[in-house]
Amino acid sequence: MPIDETTPPAPVSPYGWSKLMTEVMLRDTAAAHGLRYAVLRYFNVAGADPQGRTGQSTKDATHLIKIASQAAHGLRAGMSVFGTDYPTPDGTCLRDYIHVSDLIEAHVLALAHLMGGGESLTANCGYGEGYSVLEVIDAVKRVSGADFPVEITGRRAGDPASLVADSSRIRDLLGWTPQYQDLDAIVGHALAWEAALQKRNSRP
């Protein structure tokens, strides 16, 4: 840790394998037909539009910040933490959370790179800083001012202990400069969107 683009891929879940297979297909198609492409390896995308125009609206979402935000707004009775025996400082999984607006900017820069004749690239999209599940839950409680029950339960299959990005390549090659590299800002935007979504869904 952190993981750079030269780290040999070793997926531990079907989701991870599907991502790797897509990269292989792009690589092979490029070799056969001269395609140029950009692979952006997302870490944990979170937050919402800072202006409140849009955000994650999936009804049965499984993303940590989304679930915790729903619990803070009383839309869930509580939430679960899956495993506290990982080799991390507090025993819960460590992840690199990237604000969706910074990820959008990464896409814009990658497209401009390709349209300007740039070579194919593979680049990590993350901040290089990890937060544990318990740290994220604490941030949601702190920012929202709400408390909610948290149940500790066993590990889920396919959850790596730590995933933190080395994003030097995209910063150096494309000039990507994150604007929302702050957990409280990410959580605050997610909470604001959840409140707006709740209000929108309650209209007749």
Which residue, among 12, 168, 150, has the nearest Cα to 81 in the 3D structure? 150
Task: Classify residue 55 by its DSSP letter.
Answer: -
Please give the Cα distance from 113 to 24 (Å, whole number): 21
CB 183 within 8 A of CB 126: no
Residue 84, exposed/middle/buried by CB under 10 A (0-12, 13-18, 19+)? middle
Residue of 15, 86, 127, 131 marked active site: 15
Which residue, among 173, 184, 47, has the nearest Cα to 113 in the 3D structure? 173
* Catalytic residue list contains 15: yes
**CA 172 remoteness from chain centre:** 21
Q: Helix or strand or coil: residue 122?
A: strand
CB 147 within 8 A of CB 141: yes
Task: Classify residue 184 by its DSSP letter.
Answer: H
Q: Give the catalytic positions in this structure.
A: 15
